[in-house]
Structures are given as C-alpha cells and as structure tokens.
Structure 1
Amino acid sequence: MKKLVFSLAILSSVFTGCSSDDDETITPITPATGEITGDATTSKTYAFGNYTLKGIVKIKSGVTLTFDAGSKITADVSNGVDALVVENGGKLIINGTAAEPVVFTESSAMPGSWGGIIMYGDAPIVGASGATSATSEDGLALPYGGTNASHNGGSLKFVRVEYAGKKITDGTSEMNGFSFYSVGSGTVLENLVSYKGADDGFEFYGGTVSAKNLISYGNYDDSFDWQDGWRGEANTNWYAYQTGTGNFGMEIEAKSVNNAFGPKVSNITLKRSAGTLTENASVEYDAIQFKKQGNGEFTNIVIDGYNDANAVAVRIQDAATNTDQVNAGKIKLTNVKINGSTPQDGRGADTFTVTFPAGNYTTNTASTGATLSTGTWATVNGVNLIQ
C-alpha cells in the first residue's frame, strides 16, 4: 500500500510538470539595428538584425567582424561609395544558413549601386610579367600578393550580395559582387550568391582559395572571372544564369604568363536566357573564354542558351594561349554537355587551329552540371535563382 501511494505521488508530480511546460510562451527575438561605418579597429559580433552600411568599411589587420544568421545589411547609393573590405590580416565571419542567409543589399535595388564584399590576402599571385605583387583595380589602390598560400580571411557561408558591381572614379575602376585579391586556402567560401551586379559576379585575383556552391545570377559582365594566376583546386558546384545583360559565363586569363598550374572546378552550369544582350554592345560572348595564357581543369559542365551566331561554348582567344595552354595539355574540359545550337569551340581573330590533345576535351550527354539545394539562400523576391 505504501508503494502504491508513493507511485501515485510520483505520477502526480510528472503530470504537473508537463502542464506547467505547456503554459510557457516563446518570446520572439527582436532584430538588432545599427549603422556600420568607418574602419573596424576592434573585433565585434553583429547579432541577428538589420543594419545599414555607410561608406567603405575596412576590417583592419588583426580584427574580426562576425555576422549572425538572418542578418540584413543595406547600403545606399545616395551616400556615396559603399563597400565591405577585408584588409590583409583581417577576418570576416558570416554564419548564414540555407534558411537564414546573411544578405547584403542596396536600397534602390539598382545594379551597380555599391561595391560588394572585397577581401585581401597575401597568398601568391602571378601578375603582369610574372610580378609577385600588384595594385588592386577597385579604386582603393591596395597592394596584394605574397607567399602565404594558407592565408585565412575568414569564413563566408550562405551569403548573398545584391546590386553590387559599382564603377567608380573615371569609370575604369570597378568593384564586383565578390572580389578576392590573393586570398588563401585557409579561407572558407561556401554557398554564396552574387545577384544582379553591374560587373562580374565573382572575381579572383590570384591566390589559392577555393569556393563551393556559387550562384552568379544576372550580373552584367562575367559570371565568373579570374586572373593573376589564381590556383584554387577544390572548387565545385558553380551555377551561372545570365539574363538581361551579360558577357562571358567564365572569363579565364593569366596576365599573359605561361603558368605551370591552374585552377580546378567540377560541376559547372552556365545558362543564358533568350534575349540577353552584351555589355557595351560587344559582338562576342561565349560560355567559356580562355585568353592571355588562362588555363585549368574543368569537368561535368552543362552549357545552355549561348545560341547567337557570335557565341561558342569554348573560345580560345589568342594564338599564344592555344600554343602554350591547349597544345601543351594545360586546358582540360571533360564531360561537357552543350544544349541547343551552340558550336563546340572557336578561336579569336588570329589565324590558328584549335585541336585539343586526346582526352582533354570530351562530351557527355549525361553530364549534370552544378547540383545545388534550393531554399531561402537561393531565392530573391520569390524567384528561385536556380532556373
């Protein structure tokens, strides 16, 4: 009898506890607000919230800025030139998720309204005439290049940059959605979106960093661009959709220096919507263009929509690139699938014949291209960017 009474007492306490839990209410988190401006000289974490970006904000060496998931940072073209710059030695940590990306945007929603995210490191580059350092072309005139292949500029995960690609000063200095100057392999770049910028979606200026799960959507110039001997080797799942205005899907060059290395990218989709025009009425646009000794290894590629009479899937722009990169086997494109009427390959105005060594250019109708998950990170104004 005593055991029965004791058991009933325990059950009573259990059910009483459950009842009190059911009465609890969850208080929603109020987004933080504030202005981000001036040089960042001390480390700081920006909690989930809505912030304004004013001016060119530079993260100085030794300083780390962190943004929590779901945050939104808005620039304003009426305030002048806005950009978020990570100087060599500084770090940017952005902890977005697929459901709660961190979004950098601009209030007018006009392409070319601000400078995007710019990161500097001291990883190796090969500049003009083999130089190991150079000066940036973003109007900031900062040096880049070094010997630290494992440079770490931070971690960018599930980040979207909208309406960037600002042209500044005399119109020749340009900023992209994401600009990576001699950034090293210690930096993490995953699930990034560059949306409707007025220049390139992503540009690599030398360095050793690699990037996974990239979307370049509606950018005016090239979806993906690199130079200065960029040599990232672990790149995968790159998706480009050109619409309205756009030049090359991928523009690949190496400052006319015949390098013994090149980047590696797997799982690539390059699409162009009907009626898309070139920037500045250029008569040439292609899915992939190699020039000035650009090279690399690329596999599982889908090319779709480059159907104009002037377009080809792969263009070798100059004779030197053909001799030193194609003929020497330093350009490899395997498992290429070309939809529509796009010619397989072509050359520039010079007189030469493009003939890839056996096995260095192969086609495969079963190729899938980039494989990306959909969700909030890849959706803008209700439109899924993965078309």
Structure 2
Amino acid sequence: MKKLLAIAFMLSGLMFITSCTEDTVDPDNGVTISGLTAAVSIENLGTYGPVTVTFEGADGLASVSLTKDGAVYGDTTFTGAPTTASLEFGYTATEADEDANIVFVFTATDADGDVESSTVVISVGEATPPRETIVLSGVIDEDMTLTPDGFYELAGRVIVTGGATLTIEPGTIIKGRLGEGSNASVLMIARDGMIDAEGTAEKPIIFTSVNDNIALGALSGTNLTATDNQLWGGVVILGNAPISVEAGTSAQIEGVPASEPLGQYGGDNATHSSGTFKYVSLRHGGTTIDPVAGNDINGLTLGGVGSGTVISNIEVFANYDDGIEFFGGSVNVTNVLVYTVGDDGLDVDQAYSGTIDNFLVYTSTAASSDEGLEIDGPEGSENATGKFSIKNGTITSVDGGGSGADFKSKAQGSVTNVKWANFTGGSTVKIRASFNADCTVKTDAMSHLTAGDLSFTTVEFAAIKVYSDQDCATELAAAQASAEASVTIGTATGVSDATVFASWTAAAQAGLL
C-alpha cells in the first residue's frame, strides 16, 4: 500500500511566554498541561491536529519531552525557566500506523523537580485503497466531478459542453493517452461549458502523460524529465469574449480539427466566464495535430476567454509547442511558470486584451525553444483595439538556447518590468517592420511602437532589433534608430514573486528552479 501521508511534528516550534517570579520562596506549585484530548480517531491515514498544547509551571519550566509508543520523539530543555510555554502539535498517520493505536505522552518538569504527564491515544483507521482508473472520452454534457482518490485517463478528445461544469478537486491527477491528429488526447472546455479546477499549493491538479509513473498523492514522478514532451495533447478553454480574426468575430481554435464543431471560439461578451483554473500543472504534452502544417497543441490554449474567468498559478512543463497561447479574449492570468517548451513560452494573438502578471519563462536548446514571448496583434478590423499588458516577468535560458522575444505583425500593448537573461549572444527583442512596394511604412509592430500603441517600461535586455523581409534598407535603418530612441533599456527586477512556484511545480520538484 502506498505511503499516503507523513509525520508532522517539531519541538523546535515551541514558543515561549515568560513571567517573573517572586523574590520570596513560593510553595510547590506543580505543573499543568492543557490542550490535548485523551483519545481521538483519524480515518483513512488522516491527520490529527494541529492543536495548541500549553505547559504552565509557576516555579518555572525546566524541560518538556514527548514519546511515541514509548520511544523518544522529541525533547526541549528551557533556559530562563519560563512559567508558560506552548507548541503546535499535529500528527499525520503513515502506512505503519494503519489499524493501530498510537500513544503520545507529553511530560513536563519544572525547576523544583515536579513532573506532570498528559497522554493522547490516536486510533488510526484503515486506508481506503485507490479506486480503478476512470477513462474519460467524448462529450461531457452533464455536471461531473473528478476526485483525487484514483487516476483519470483522457482517451482522445474530451469536450465539456451543453452548459455542463467539470469540477476537478485538489490533488486530482489526469493522464493523457498517446495519439496524434484526430486521436490526440485533449481536454477542451467549449464555449457553452465550464471548468471548476481549483487546486492548492499543497494539492495541485496535475495533467500529465500515461507514461508518467507519478503516484497518487505525489507531486511528481521519477521517470520523465524536462526533455520528455509530445506524449499527449493539452488543455483548451474556449469562451465568448471578443477576438480579432481575419474575417468575422469567431473562429475554429488551433489544435482542434475543423471537423469538430465545438472548436469554435469568440463572441461579444468581454466579461464571459469559463470558470476557474488555479494551481494546475500541465506536463509533457504537445501532440501533433497536422505534421504537414506544423500544427501542434499548446500546454494551455485560451481562445476568446473572458475576464470573468479566473486563471492563476499555472505551470506548463516540457510541452512540445507553446506554453500558453492567447487567441484574443480578455482573461487575466497571474503566476505563470513555463519551463522549456518546444516553441514559444507565451504567445499572444488576435488582439488579446488581458493582463499577464508575475511570470517565469525558461527556454532551452535541448527543448528546441523558439521565443520567450511571441506577440501578435489584431488580424482583422473587428475587435481590433484590444491591447495586452505583460508585466513583472523574467525570461531566461537554461542553456543559452532560444530567443528573447518577437513582437510581430500589429502587436499592440504594454510590457512593464520584464527582464531577459542568459541567452547566447545576449537577449534580443525583435520588432517587426513592414513596408509598401515603394517602401513607405505600413501599420505594424514598429509603427505601433513609434505611435505609443506598443510600449516598453522598465525593461532589461541586450538589444532591440527591427527586422523586415522587404528590401527597404534605408527605411529599415531609420526604423532601427527610431526603435532605439523609443525604448529605454535599463534594469528590471522581473518576476515579482518567484516563491509561488517553489513547492508544487514539476520544475521545483526536479530541482530546476
């Protein structure tokens, strides 16, 4: 039976509260211990506590000790003879405790040699064995809840639609099967579906491959690394928020075959909610849909997702295509970690108008990473005013590979407090310039930069480079000078809080952060 939980107790957690004693000799006052219940039960290898245990001795406390089933479990000797001390005590059962009674005895001694003991007996229930793996496939059109007491497998495309809500409880592990093209394993939330996936730092929701040997209750497996990708698809969330495509106001999402009618996204509701997606780790995905067109699945694809959707604390680890790609929409995303994907870390398209805040992107040669950021603007005249905000981020290469950023097409928005580092030859931010046949300037990322519709504030990188595939050398040189005058390269602090990724992510578990 798998070890589900572990011991939690520290005598070093004692917090001392002292009080003065009289100069005269006091009578023998003895010692008291409070806060414990004599007998308690915990089910399914669960947890007792934490409870506050208080020790009082008017003559001054000398020491406290704790035994577990008669063996020393911890002890503390006091200095200064405090009259009061307390600690937080808790215990989480292990396999060895199953169907057993565990006896903890606290013993306190005061300065006069008085001794007091208090006993708590913890009765541990039998562990519930994991249930069999449940296979998910096809359409989910009724409310469903996924629980952490066993694995789930995605067999092909799984689509939440028809007003249904898919709830995923903290600690749940979903594994995608192998398969390419129309057989790719993908979880997709259609425009008329909802997702309620709210993990925690202690119990994140994990999407990974069936090849991953991760155990229930664990934060990572042992057999896959940051170079193992393309082992399943990814997660796609579609909404009704505005997008700017070449024609119309809706489109078929990238990575889903055109034959799937539920792959449509986009609309006129900027505040539309697709639900909640928090503390989710997406690992080892990026299956190919169309190898000829180079069409692969991102770790997380957001198509027309509205600002009513809550997305935070997201990791994409070892994906074959982009980490997260935004196709229009207005959703705000906070606390994002993208580690060594095979294309771009963060990709923005179709006049995405939300904010990406507090992020880390790692590129690498080993993963064949492309850009840390790849940013496009509107593609058509509809909904063309949306501007992104990208702030408080660090983009770095683990081995020098990859490139800093590419602001393409009609990129428009703001970049604030973003830092690039560790790229071979220095980090470069590229700005696209386009010209008519007579080399007059067309609307593009470069023209948006000079007009103030694309801005960089408190940014740190090696160089800015304006590029074009047109033979307008004089005009390109002028654009380069203008870009250098428009962007001040200085010092940035980058990611505002990297500690939010320090425990629950695959990258942290592998010691890569």
Q: TM-score, normalised by structure 1?
A: 0.85
Instruction: Give the AA of the match of 1:18.
Output: T
Instruction: Give the AA of the match of 2:357.
Output: T
**Offset of residue 89 of structure 1:** 1.6
Q: Matched residues in 2 for 1:368 and 1:314: separation?
A: 15
Q: Matched residues in 2 for 1:25 and 1:302: separation?
A: 54
**Offset of residue 207 of structure 1:** 0.7
Q: Which residue of 2 aligns with 1:23?
A: 121
2:247 is the alignment partner of 1:146 = no
Question: 1:305 and 1:121, CA in 2 relative to 1: closer, same or farther beyond 3 A?
Answer: same
Give 1:118's match in structure 2, choosing from 211, 236, 239. 236
Give 2:463's match in structure 1, choosing from 324, 343, 348. 343
Q: Which residue of 2 aligns with 1:354?
A: 480
Percent of residue pairs identical: 26
Give 1:54's match in structure 2, choosing from 151, 155, 160. 155
**Offset of residue 158 of structure 1:** 0.5
> Which stretch of the first structure deviates more once superposed, 35-44 or 104-113?
104-113
Question: 1:323 and 1:53, CA in 2 relative to 1: closer, same or farther beyond 3 A?
Answer: closer
Q: Matched residues in 2 for 1:323 and 1:357: separation?
A: 7
Give 2:360's match in structure 1, choosing from 230, 239, 245. 239
Paired residue secondary structure (1:220): coil
Q: For each residue in 1:114-170, what CA deviation from the matched residue of structure 2 results, as whole angstroms up to 9, or x when unmatched?
A: 2210011111011115x3222222133222211011111110111011111111144
Q: Which residue of 2 aligns with 1:189?
A: 311
Q: Which residue of 1 aligns with 2:506?
A: 379
RMSD (Å) for aligned C-alpha atoms: 2.6
Instruction: Give the AA of the match of 2:187.
Output: L
Q: Which residue of 1 aligns with 2:278?
A: 157
Give 1:127's match in structure 2, choosing from 233, 237, 245. 245
Tell whether the 8 Å contact from 1:268 to 1:369 is kept in structure 2 after alignment.
Answer: yes
Q: Matched residues in 1 for 2:177 and 2:357: separation?
A: 33
Tell whether the 8 Å contact from 2:450 to 2:486 is kept in structure 1 after alignment.
Answer: no
Paired residue secondary structure (2:139): coil
Q: For each residue in 1:330-362, what CA deviation from the matched residue of structure 2 results, as whole angstroms up to 9, or x when unmatched?
A: 111111123xxx324442344422355899523
More strand by share: 2
Task: Work out which of the two has the higher radius of gyration on C-alpha atoms and give 1 or 2.
Answer: 2
Tell whether the 8 Å contact from 2:174 to 2:207 is kept in structure 1 after alignment.
Answer: yes
Q: Matched residues in 2 for 1:111 and 1:82: separation?
A: 14
Tell whether the 8 Å contact from 1:101 to 1:376 is kept in structure 2 after alignment.
Answer: no
**Offset of residue 263 of structure 1:** 0.6
Q: Which residue of 1 aligns with 2:495?
A: 369
> Which stretch of the first structure deviates more once superposed, 45-54 or 66-75?
45-54
Q: Matched residues in 2 for 1:274 and 1:170: separation?
A: 27
Tell whether the 8 Å contact from 2:299 to 2:324 is kept in structure 1 after alignment.
Answer: yes
Q: Which residue of 1 aligns with 2:335?
A: 213
Q: Matched residues in 1 for 2:447 and 2:257: separation?
A: 34
Q: Matched residues in 2 for 1:168 and 1:366: separation?
A: 39
Question: 1:260 and 1:62, CA in 2 relative to 1: closer, same or farther beyond 3 A?
Answer: closer
> Which stretch of the first structure deviates more once superposed, 114-123 or 366-375?
366-375
Tell whether the 8 Å contact from 1:226 to 1:252 is kept in structure 2 after alignment.
Answer: yes
Q: Matched residues in 2 for 1:355 and 1:369: separation?
A: 29
Q: TM-score, normalised by structure 2?
A: 0.65
Question: 1:124 and 1:214, CA in 2 relative to 1: closer, same or farther beyond 3 A?
Answer: same
**Offset of residue 383 of structure 1:** 1.8
Q: Which residue of 1 aligns with 2:390?
A: 265
Tell whether the 8 Å contact from 2:303 to 2:326 is kept in structure 1 after alignment.
Answer: yes
Question: 1:26 and 1:267, CA in 2 relative to 1: closer, same or farther beyond 3 A?
Answer: farther
Tell whether the 8 Å contact from 1:257 to 1:292 is kept in structure 2 after alignment.
Answer: no
Q: Matched residues in 2 for 1:316 and 1:237: separation?
A: 23
Q: Which residue of 1 aligns with 2:208?
A: 105
2:286 is the alignment partner of 1:286 = no
**Offset of residue 316 of structure 1:** 0.9
Q: Matched residues in 2 for 1:69 and 1:24: separation?
A: 26
2:142 is the alignment partner of 1:42 = yes
Q: Which residue of 2 aligns with 1:168?
A: 289
Question: 1:385 and 1:182, CA in 2 relative to 1: closer, same or farther beyond 3 A?
Answer: farther
Q: Matched residues in 1 for 2:400 and 2:457: separation?
A: 29
Q: Which residue of 2 aligns with 1:303?
A: 420
> Which stretch of the first structure deviates more once superposed, 377-386 or 243-252?
377-386
Tell whether the 8 Å contact from 2:136 to 2:154 is kept in structure 1 after alignment.
Answer: yes
Q: Matched residues in 1 for 2:140 and 2:433: separation?
A: 44
Q: How does 1:88-99 map to 2 (within 5 A)?
A: 88-99=191-202
Q: Which residue of 2 aligns with 1:179?
A: 301
Question: 1:25 and 1:257, CA in 2 relative to 1: closer, same or farther beyond 3 A?
Answer: same
Q: Matched residues in 1 for 2:423 and 2:249: separation?
A: 36
Gaps of at least 5 residues in structure 2 are 1-32, 41-119, 212-223, 435-441
| Highest RCO, 1 vs 2 (Cα 8 Å, sep ≥ 6) | 1
Q: Matched residues in 2 for 1:54 and 1:107: separation?
A: 10
**Offset of residue 67 of structure 1:** 1.0
Tell whether the 8 Å contact from 1:125 to 1:206 is kept in structure 2 after alignment.
Answer: yes
